[in-house]
Amino acid sequence: MKTEKEKMLAGESYLADDKELVAERLRAKKLLHRLNVTEYVMNGNARNILHVLMPNSHKRLYIEPPFICDYGYNIHCGENVYFNVNCVVLDEMIVKIGDNVLIGPGVHIYTATHPLNAKERRLKEISKPVSIGNDCWIGGNATICPGVKIGNGCVIGAGSVVTKDIPDNSMAVGNPAKVIKKLNQENV
């Protein structure tokens, strides 16, 4: 029999108020409090906190506080990833971010979603992974929805809501985000 955490990570319906999951979110909140309040600047102490909070991310990760996430360990960042202020990552499932990615202020990345049936929604949650390729720029206040894959070399316009996959070397804008042009790979 699977634990609720195992169900969450497998993309199956799970109980978010499971004791283990509640404890893990509380652990993350305590680390985020230290990052967002006690340190508030990226220094050696903040880097140590990030290493504990996000052990699956490259050491060359830079986050401008405040930053919010649910678990931290489900965020896998490559080398040279930058999060600007006020970013939120609901990481119930894997969020994979490639190398050399710029994430603008106020960007929200969601893996958590809910059943459409109201009765089911009272008890269960679902999660779907998110993937952002190498050399991407996610504009300020963009929202990346559960299950979305953004290819390499993409630009997501400020304020866009990405509900579907975006192919490599594309510029996508709007709500919902639509590809408006292909980007020249030589300029990436």
- Active-site positions? 114
CA dist 2 and 137 (Å) reads 37
**Residue 163 burial (C-beta neighbours within 10 Å; 0-12, 13-18, 19+):** middle
Antiparallel, parallel or unpaired: β 178-182 and 170-173:
antiparallel
Strands (E), 11-128: 61-63, 67-69, 75-77, 81-83, 87-90, 95-97, 101-103, 108-110, 112-113, 126-127
| Pick from 122, 131, 127: nearest CA to 112 | 127
- What number of other Cβ atoms are within 10 A of residue 187's Cβ? 7
Paired tokens of 86: 């006020």
Instruction: Assign 173 to helix, strand or coil.
Output: strand
